[in-house]
Amino acid sequence: MKNTIKQVFHSGKFLFGFVIFMFILLTVLIYPIFVTADPLQMIGQGNFFKPGTYVSVEESALEKTYTLQIPKQFSKLEMVLDVDTRASIQDFLIKQAGVAESEIDVTDAEGLVALWKANYDPNTKYKGLTTAKRKALRRLDGQITAAMKDSGVIIAEKDEEGTLQQSKVIKDTDYINIKDVTTKTFLLGTDNFGRDVLTELVAATKSSLKIGLLAGLIATAIGLLLGLIAGYMGGLADNIIIFITNLFTVIPSFVILILISYSVGDKARGIAMVGIIIGITSWPWTTRSVRSQVISLRNRDHVNLSKLSGHSMFRIIFTDILPYIASYVVMAMILQISSGILAEAQLSMIGLGPATTKTATLGLMMQWAMQYSAHLNGSWWAYFPVVILIALISFSLNLMNTGMDQVFNPQLRD
Amino acid sequence: MKKNLQKVMSLLCVSALSLSMLAGCGGGNNGGTTTTETPAATEEASTEAPAAEEKTEDTAEETTEETTEETTEETTEETTEEAAEETTEEASADGESTPRNETLYEAGQQWGTINDWNPMSANSNNGLALSANDVARELVYETLFMFNPLDGELYPLLGTEYSWNDDNTELTVKLNADAKWSDGTAFTAEDVAYTYDTHVKYQSSQGSDFSTYVDAVEAVDDATVLIKAKVEGGKAINPLKVTSMLNTMYMMQKAYLQTVEERNGEDADKVKQDTMEDMAHTGPYAPYISNDQKAVLQRDDNYWGQADSMWGKLPVPKYIAHTIYKDNAAGQVALSQGEVDVCQQFITDVQNLWLEDQLPISTWLDEAPYGQCEAIPSMFFNVEREGLDQKEVRRAIAMAVDYEQIIASAMSGQSPTFDEYPRSIVGPTAGERKYVDFDAIADLQWENADVDGANKLLDDAGIVDGDGDGIREYNGKNLSFKAECPSGWSDWNASMEIVAAAGEKIGIDIQTYFPEASSFYDDMTTCNFDICMWSAPGAGVMNPYSKGMFYFSEEYAKLASNWSGNFGHYMNDDAEAILEAIPTETDEAKLKEYYTELSRILLEECPAVALMYRPQLFYAVNESVWTNFPAADDGRNIPPTDCTDGYGIAALYELELVE
């Protein structure tokens, strides 16, 4: 046994897969110790806030400031006036304001702005502009006005009469130390409900692993049991079992999965239930392969010897047959776990997974990201980490499987 | 024996195989319907849904229909088209493309092959041409008047003016003498009367609806119609409802209707199911191409509206085309690529399209909420369910919900908040808000996500968690409810999730349940739900009265199949008395008193709770090809109804090509 394990760990593939899997597993176990927040808490008010650190604006405005004489890399105006903006200003000045092209020098920011200010009036409806363009120009005018303003933003508070009293002026050399104010970091941004994607992802991975493990265990247990009985006993038992198995193999298991999930209803659909449903629909191929292995084993000499010694059927199965197929069963289970995780993701994608407000799963995260078209809005953080994680889990499990195969399968052994 | 067994086995296997194939197909079909229903968010938040939604069932018919449609189309074309044009048109029809600079592309209205053009149909999926609600789609068929949700006024179309007699029992409508049918014959008062009579005779949904309030529609002379209201005790039962006939009922031709009746043997079901592809219509566009890829309408260059008494010109685009998209995402991609000009779809973070992607796309307003919000998606509590019959439970759920989260995330900020427009029976438009005294009901409003207040309310009412499982009991039973809305309606699904999250915080177990749209409709219309979501009607001539009916009407609750409102069967005699008094009341002060009282009952008793405000139609336009679309600040008073609905069709006459 010890030797076998040693051998297995000597396989580079297995080790690599194992390390990835353990890394995921440990993260899932350790992360919640440090981040105790409820993974389903809706923090962000809005869809898909991008990753980064969010700083309390109110505290930043009120906090003690430090004056730092950092030379500005760009003037604010230069920042507003990028190449495209200059081109659109030039376009406006020529077409709508009737300024001669020779008068316009797009390289001279100050001059361009002066011309803009002289010719653009936000309240005029210029001819020949689309609404979108008109609105874009108005926004641009706002930006230019803001950029041209002298340094300093005034903070004012309402006094008892409701009139504004200046309480502070913020200059452009004012800085605060980020340690002094409340911040919140979303390493992977937020999702469509405003939930922290990273925290949710960890919780989701945990429940997906649970579902996969449960589904894998159940599928393997059923498959193994039926395969052993069918293969060893043969005859009528074999016929019946293989008939049922064929039936299940022929009907796409995902269809059964959908039908069962649908009839179970939302009420009972927790992690355990989804795991069980996936488990009881994905056993057939384990049964078939276990059966064929057992058939080849049952006429071996040591089995016949056991039979002659009058050992009971169970003893023969458990001591003379099971150990020979154990490695295969473990490998099959690993694959079952991996396909269980994928099946959960598929189920949740079509809205038949666990309840959104009660559990986080990888499939549910994908489903909501899709529904709120994160893939169209460029909100990669809402779905890409999920995809990567699903891929990593099945990749690592499959690697472990291939690694073990190389060790146990005499044909592949070098 | 063994051989026999094998034979039996193989036979069984074969039958299992064929069974599984059938099951597989069934499953596939299921998947298919999910996608057709997906564009949830785009569904108009109005009562027209029953008609538009039946599309699920039509999928089977579609294939057979396609073939018939194509043949009939060709014949109609040949008669209407000039010979010279014929060849070119035909060629383009075969290639199924129309010149881009003569075609206005829409998205978000048509979600499958068009199944009929029959305004009396109960299961039409024709979103492109038929939408007979307050803001009716005026492309193919026309109503007598067009409603403008911006100012709440009726604008003349087939009718020029209307007036009530002194005791409000008879409505006289003058018709436009220039109005003509697509076959060139004149549109007369006979047609109006016959349209109404046919609706009633065959008990279409509009016919059975209006016949409760309308006694008769009579042709006085060719250009004058007299609509007699049903009278009770010397007063019309509901003059508001009678007026709303002017802008919701599509006019059909008498001669054509008679043909339809004849070919269907005057059988009610057959008449209502007639596809009417060869119809006579008054509108500026006629059916042109319709298949599972797209639906196209073609301008009728003999349209009567080019007379000076109406528009004085033809609408600018020669074709109105609608590609059949698989889902919202596909429509959104097409919009951002400029393949769609006007998009009636919910778009997450729509502002990013112009702020970040710099696309020539704009909405009605430049800032949140981006649209003209009139409708109120609300959740109804079934007051016949144990637990939900307690107003404390209903109010506690209402108080605990995080509405700001719903508005910010589920609606992506495309709704004003309840801080800006406090809850009441009316929508957020000024025209409706003047009917409610908000100071009088200010103390009934609740703070956003007031979990403590909700918990206290339940504790005080003695509804507590006795067995320590985290869920409160009422009469010894756990308070556990299902909150449902159709699957795939993403903004509604997300709202229900946020409601469910609120339940968790106050010890009430709320599970979300998103069935297929058709089974949701069954649940909602027969009061077989715990909590369900539906939208209060948006703008219309009857508002805010129709919103009052939506929340409280006992009459609706008693309907066997109730599509109209009060789905939770909440009965309140005070409210009912007010609803009966409002239609005949003309004194503004008195009306304000009534609506304020209704709002008070709504907030106190919480039979239903508003979750957000929402535009009747979503509206985003891409100005890559066409420009001069309506915008809030253009001062033209043309509503953002996708250039197709109600007075919004005026925009079609003012479109310009981008140079």
Q: How close are the terminal C-alpha atoms of chain A, in Å?
A: 20
For chain B, the residue count is: 659
Closest CA relative to residue A366, chosen from A256, A207, A188, A204 = A204
For testing the chain A interface, which of B364, B497, B629 should be mutated: the one with the most A CBs within 10 Å?
B497
**B36-89 tens-digit pLDDT:** 333 444 444 443 333 333 333 333 333 333 333 433 344 444 444 444 444 444
CATH class of B145-255: alpha beta
- Pairing type for strands B153-156 and A52-55 reads unpaired
How far, in Å, are A269, A283, B91, B109, B221 from residue B254 at the CA level? 56, 66, 34, 29, 15
Which residue has tokens 């010279």?
Answer: B84
Q: Chain B residues with CB inside 8 Å of A259's CB? A: 23, 27
Q: What percent of chain B has pLDDT over 70?
A: 85
DSSP state of B426: S
Q: What percent of chain B has pLDDT over 90?
A: 45
* CB atoms B500 and A251 under 8 Å: no
B240 has pLDDT over 90: no
* CB atoms B488 and A351 under 8 Å: yes
Torsions phi, psi of B611, nearest 5? Answer: -100, -25
* CB atoms B332 and A373 under 8 Å: yes
Q: How far apart are CA B456 and CA B463, in angstroms?
A: 10
**B244-297 tens-digit pLDDT:** 999 999 999 999 999 999 999 989 889 988 989 899 999 999 999 988 888 999
**Residue in B27, B332, B408 nearest the CB of A376:** B332
pLDDT band at B198 (very low <50, low <70, confident <90, very high): very high
**Residue in A194, A355, A374 nearest the CB of B405:** A194
**Residue in B23, B359, B631 nearest the CB of A255:** B23
Closest chain A C-alpha to B405 CA, distance in angstroms:
6
B204 has pLDDT over 90: no
Q: DSSP 3-state assignment of B101? A: helix
Residue type, B216: A
Closest CA relative to residue B436, chosen from B209, B589, B558, B569 = B589
Do B647 and B405 form a contact (C-beta atoms < 8 A)?
no
**B133-147 tens-digit pLDDT:** 888 999 999 999 999
Interchain contact B496–A (C-beta under 8 A) = no
What is the 3-state secondary structure of B461-498? CCCCCCCCCCCCEECCEECEEEEECCCCCHHHHHHHHH
Closest chain A C-alpha to B573 CA, distance in angstroms:
36
* CB atoms A131 and B333 under 8 Å: no
Interchain contact B347–A (C-beta under 8 A) = yes
Q: Can you give the pLDDT at residue B55?
A: 37
Closest chain B C-alpha to A404 CA, distance in angstroms:
35
* CB atoms B30 and A258 under 8 Å: yes
ipTM: 0.81
Taking the CA atoms of chain A, what radius of gyration do you get in angstroms?
Answer: 33
Kindly report the CA angle at B642 between B641 and B646, in degrees rounded to 5? Answer: 40
Max CA separation in chain A (angstroms) = 109
Interchain contact B519–A (C-beta under 8 A) = no
Tokens of B202: 């065959």
For chain A, the residue count is: 414
Mean pLDDT on B30-35: 36
**Residue in A252, A267, A351 nearest the CB of B24:** A252
**Residue in B348, B360, B409 nearest the CB of A45:** B409
**Residue in A47, A255, A356 nearest the CB of B412:** A47
Q: Can you give the pLDDT at residue B20?
A: 56
**B330-351 tens-digit pLDDT:** 889 999 999 999 999 888 889 8
Do B162 and B189 form a contact (C-beta atoms < 8 A)?
no
Which residue has tokens 């392969």?
Answer: A289
Please list the rounded mean pLDDT of every run of 10 residues in chain A (414 residues). Answer: 82 91 94 89 88 90 82 68 83 82 79 83 78 85 79 80 83 84 90 92 92 93 92 89 88 79 70 87 89 88 88 87 87 90 85 79 89 87 92 92 83 64
Q: DSSP 3-state assignment of B534? A: strand
| Cα B356 from chain centre | 32
DSSP B170-238: EEEEEEPTT-B-TTSPBP-HHHHHHHHHHHHHTT-HHHHHHTTTEEEEEEEETTEEEEEEPEETTEES-
| Cα A6 from chain centre | 34
Q: Can you give the pLDDT at residue A393?
A: 92
Q: How far apart are CA B305 and CA B313, in angstroms?
A: 7
- CB contacts < 8 A (A, B): 143
B26 has pLDDT over 80: no
Among B54-63, B120-129, B154-163, which stretch is predicted with the lowest mean pLDDT? B54-63
Q: Chain B residues with CB inside 8 Å of A364's CB? A: none
Q: Can you give the pLDDT at residue A24?
A: 94
**B483-504 tens-digit pLDDT:** 998 887 888 989 999 999 999 8
Q: Can you give the pLDDT at residue A328?
A: 86
For testing the chain A interface, which of B9, B397, B409, B633 should be mutated: the one with the most A CBs within 10 Å?
B409
Minimal Cα distance from B622: which residue of A? A132
CATH 2.40.110.10 fits B373-615, yes or no: no
**B241-252 tens-digit pLDDT:** 899 999 999 999
Q: Can you give the pLDDT at residue A265?
A: 65
Closest chain A C-alpha to B369 CA, distance in angstroms:
13
Q: Which residues pair with B147 in a beta bridge?
A: B154
CATH 3.40.190.10 fits B5-139+256-370+616-657, yes or no: yes
B189 has pLDDT over 90: yes
pLDDT band at B24 (very low <50, low <70, confident <90, very high): very low
Do A215 and A343 form a contact (C-beta atoms < 8 A)?
yes
Q: How far apart are CA B62 and CA B329, in angstroms?
A: 23
For testing the chain A interface, which of B22, B35, B333, B348 should be mutated: the one with the most A CBs within 10 Å?
B348
pLDDT band at B14 (very low <50, low <70, confident <90, very high): low
Q: How far apart are CA B91 and CA B87, in angstroms?
A: 6
Q: How close are the terminal C-alpha atoms of chain B, in Å?
A: 85
Q: Which residues pair with B511 in a beta bridge?
A: B482
DSSP A227-244: HHHHHHH-HHHHHHHHHH
Tokens of B332: 């959104």
Closest chain B C-alpha to A148 CA, distance in angstroms:
21
**B547-560 tens-digit pLDDT:** 998 999 888 888 87
Q: How far apart are CA B372 and CA B416, in angstroms?
A: 10
Interchain contact B275–A (C-beta under 8 A) = no
Helical H runs in A126-196?
131-148
Q: Chain A residues with CB inside 8 Å of B498's CB? A: 42, 193
Interchain contact B514–A (C-beta under 8 A) = yes
Neighbours of A164 (CB within 10 A): 11
DSSP A358-414: T---HHHHHHHHHHTTHHHHT-GGGTHHHHHHHHHHHHHHHHHHHHHHHHH-TTT--
B236 has pLDDT over 60: yes
Mean pLDDT on B304-322: 92
Neighbours of B623 (CB within 10 A): 22
What region does B319 belong to: left with phi over 0, alpha with psi -120 to 50, or beta?
Answer: beta
How far, in Å, are B206, B409, B479, B516, B599 from residue B531 at the CA level? 28, 21, 12, 16, 20
Q: Chain B residues with CB inside 8 Å of A138's CB? A: 366
Residue burial B157-171, b: 16+ Cβ < 10 Å; e: rest: bbbbebebeeebbbb
Interface of B with A in 306-335 (CB under 8 A): 328-329, 332-333
Q: How far apart are CA B631 and CA B362, in angstroms?
A: 9
| pTM given for the model | 0.80
Domain assignments of chain B as residue spans, ordered by start: 5-139+256-370+616-657, 145-255, 373-615
Q: Can you give the pLDDT at residue A357?
A: 77
